């Protein structure tokens, strides 16, 4: 897994990149009550707003960490947004991106670097 300064995680799954938020981000949000996911086949650029999360504390945007095409979304989050609080690093992924070059992930933090970042 790789991590962003915006508290997102990225995991390679074959030729796709799976994107979610970290445990730290889920804790900061509090109880998540609503998730709006992107449309499949949407082309995104790095920094584009892709998802909206609403919690009892605030609304937050999930930004595309890299450029690519959204090829899958996790519909389970729409029916059960609390999954983000229960399993942020596993079942609560948001979307999968098809990217041209997986080496772009080399620019992101390792788990140890992320732990230092949030310390």
Q: Model confidence over 17-76: pLDDT tens digits?
A: 999 999 999 999 999 999 999 999 999 999 999 999 999 988 999 999 999 999 999 999
Burial class (CB in 10 A: 0-12, 13-18, 19+), 13: exposed
For residue 98, which of 70, 117, 73, 64 has the smallest C-alpha distance?
A: 70
Do residues 79 and 51 lie in contact, with contact meaning Cβ atoms separated by under 8 Å?
no
**Looking at residue 40, what is its pLDDT?**
97
Overall size of the chain counted in residues:
119
CB 81 within 8 A of CB 35: yes
pTM for this one? 0.94
Q: Are 83 and 92 in contact (CB under 8 A)?
A: yes
CB atoms within 10 A of CB 84: 25
Q: What is the pLDDT of residue 28?
A: 92
User: Can you list the domains of the chain with their CATH numbers?
Assistant: 2-99 (2.40.50.100)
- Return the pLDDT at 82: 95
Question: 69-114: per-residue pLDDT in tens?
Answer: 999 999 999 999 999 999 999 999 999 999 999 999 999 999 999 9
């Amino acid at each position: 897994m790789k991590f962003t300064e915006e508290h997102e995680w990225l995991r390679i799954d074959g030729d796709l990149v799976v994107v979610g938020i970290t445990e730290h981000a889920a804790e900061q949000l509090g109880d998540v009550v609503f998730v709006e996911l992107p449309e499949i086949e949407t082309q995104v650029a790095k920094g584009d707003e892709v998802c909206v999360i609403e919690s009892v504390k605030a609304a937050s945007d999930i930004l595309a960490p890299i450029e690519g095409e959204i090829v899958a979304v996790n519909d389970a989050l729409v029916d059960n947004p609390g999954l983000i609080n229960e399993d942020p690093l596993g079942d609560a992924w948001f979307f999968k991106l098809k990217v041209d070059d997986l080496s772009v992930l080399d620019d992101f933090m390792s788990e140890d670097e992320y732990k230092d970042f949030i310390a």
